[in-house]
Amino acid sequence: MSENEQLEFKSLGLSENILESLKNLGYKKPTPIQSKSIPIALMGRDVLGCAQTGTGKTASFVLPIVDILNSQKSKARMPRSLILSPTRELADQISEYFKKIAKYHKLVVSLLIGGTQLGDQDKELNKGVDVLIATPGRLIDHINRGNILLNDLKILVIDEADRMLDMGFIPDIEFICSKLPKIRQTLFFSATLSKEIVKIGKKFVINPKLIEVSPPSSTSNTISQKLVKCNNKNKLSLLEEVLFSLDTQNTVIFCNRKKDIDILSKNLIRKKFQTITFHGDLVQSKRNEALNNFKNASNKILIASDVAGRGLDVNNISHVINYDVPNNPEDYIHRIGRTGRAGKKGVAITFFSKDDLKSIGEIENLINSKIDVLDLNTKKKSEIIDDYNFNTINESDHVPNFLKR
């Protein structure tokens, strides 16, 4: 990458070491959220940011934090920065990201999430941590055990605040913030900035810069969205029909209920599809294993609950299928945002029955556009393929990707 290609990153005020890490990652220029929030964060100001996952939001706080913290060392049990994340997977991804970016810096990054040993985490805290990435529940466990002191904290990030609200974490965050110094820098991010979220955000930030990069509640225009009409009796066979018709890389199928994930998986395995299941009832080691298998796979189907709706950053998810219409319209945006990432094309297909019409209307209101309905019952397979804009394949030599080993 030439010097010129990095000029835009340079102009944001980032250090040479960070520029080197960005070069290794192959980033050519900042995304809009990065251009807007990095200079503000480097100035030490608070941010109230509206950005969805997939916009480069993580780097917009990771890059300035690494540069800000680089000048001093941490003390035992007194982290200098804290990133609060609603889910373990998102926390894990942020931690991995810090490690990549801080490659040329001597920063200690530690992850405090449920499902892992408290004792091991305690040892890490004792050594001194610069960047602590935590889910609220596990952090409170450590605070209550006296394992951690937050009164030297310089920077707080509250990530995915709207998800925190949905998951009932706001009281936990208030408790955590009561342990932090009043004078600190706070970066508050949410995928949507509803009145309620702004009201909550204002409790944690002081004189923030409001940053919005895309209209709230928008879906990426790289994703082609379709609806498939079904009923209880034909839903599974229609799903199989759709899966056989697609030319996919990796696919995520979302179900609303955890028990349906296992049932669906068994049904699809019977039809020789390769599936991986992922939901909140799995122990953490199984969740990690499932994600790693999926990340390193091709032509596999991840059948998941909304735990995977946010933050799941896996390249090459070509299709997202909502086997159930999500209960919350905002979850629709997050689910389908797993595909069509980083400028690539993606397809999102949502199965619905007549009982879902109200929910579909709410989704269409939120995204401010109508989604085309395709009734598979009345279409021939070749038409389905055309309608979905998939690669048209000769029926005779069509071996579905999922069956290729």
Tokens of 151: 């009164």
Least gap, CB of 1 to ligand AMP (angstroms)? 11
Give the residue, chosen from 6, 35, 37, 58, that forms a contact with ligand AMP under the rule CB under 6 A: 58
Report whether 46 contacts 208 (CB < 8 A).
yes
Considering the rule CB under 6 A, would residue 346 count as an interface residue with ligand AMP?
A: no
Least gap, CB of 104 to ligand AMP (angstroms)? 18
Considering the rule CB under 6 A, would residue 313 count as an interface residue with ligand AMP?
A: yes
Give the residue, chosen from 210, 342, 357, 403, that forms a contact with ligand AMP under the rule CB under 6 A: 342
CA 87 – CA 94 distance, rounded (Å): 11
CA 306 – CA 184 distance, rounded (Å): 33
What single DSSP character describes residue 208? P
Considering the rule CB under 6 A, would residue 89 count as an interface residue with ligand AMP?
A: no
Torsion of CA 296, 302, 307, 313, to 10 degrees: 40
Nearest to residue 228, comparing CAs of 7, 5, 388, 91? Answer: 388
CA 109 – CA 131 distance, rounded (Å): 5
Least gap, CB of 362 to ligand AMP (angstroms)? 25
Q: What are phi and psi of 253, to 5 degrees?
A: -110, 125
Considering the rule CB under 6 A, would residue 36 count as an interface residue with ligand AMP?
A: no
The per-type count for the chain, helices as H runs and strands as E runs, is 16, 14
Considering the rule CB under 6 A, would residue 53 count as an interface residue with ligand AMP?
A: yes
Stretch that binds ligand AMP, among 55-63, 105-113, 202-210, 294-302 (CB under 6 A): 55-63
Give the residue, chosen from 36, 57, 154, 334, that forms a contact with ligand AMP under the rule CB under 6 A: 57
Considering the rule CB under 6 A, would residue 59 count as an interface residue with ligand AMP?
A: yes
What is the side-by-side strand order in the sheet with 250-254?
275-278, 301-304, 250-254, 317-322, 346-352, 223-229, 372-374
Least gap, CB of 55 to ligand AMP (angstroms)? 5
Give the residue, chosen from 12, 14, 19, 27, that forms a contact with ligand AMP under the rule CB under 6 A: 27
Report whether 277 contacts 262 (CB < 8 A).
yes
Q: Determine the 3-state secondary structure of 217 from DSSP.
A: coil
Considering the rule CB under 6 A, would residue 55 count as an interface residue with ligand AMP?
A: yes
CA distances from 103 to 91, 116, 140, 167 (A): 18, 25, 29, 33
Residues 261-300 that bind ligand AMP (CB under 6 A): none
# residues near ligand AMP by CB under 6 A? 13
Considering the rule CB under 6 A, would residue 98 count as an interface residue with ligand AMP?
A: no
Q: In this structure, is the dihedral angle defined by the CA atoms of residues 84, 362, 358 and 372, taken in order, positive or negative?
A: negative
Least gap, CB of 58 to ligand AMP (angstroms)? 3
Stretch that binds ligand AMP, among 57-65, 73-81, 236-244, 323-331 (CB under 6 A): 57-65
Considering the rule CB under 6 A, would residue 47 count as an interface residue with ligand AMP?
A: no
Considering the rule CB under 6 A, would residue 340 count as an interface residue with ligand AMP?
A: no
Q: In this structure, is the dihedral angle defined by the CA atoms of residues 294, 295, 299 and 303, taken in order, positive or negative?
A: positive
Stretch that binds ligand AMP, among 23-31, 198-206, 224-232, 247-255 (CB under 6 A): 23-31
Nearest to residue 402, comparing CAs of 309, 298, 316? Answer: 298
Tokens of 361: 């209307």
Stretch that binds ligand AMP, among 48-56, 81-89, 273-281, 290-298 (CB under 6 A): 48-56
Least gap, CB of 268 to ligand AMP (angstroms)? 28
Considering the rule CB under 6 A, would residue 30 count as an interface residue with ligand AMP?
A: yes
User: Which residues of the chain form contacts with ligand AMP (CB under 6 A)?
Assistant: 27, 30-31, 34, 53-59, 313, 342
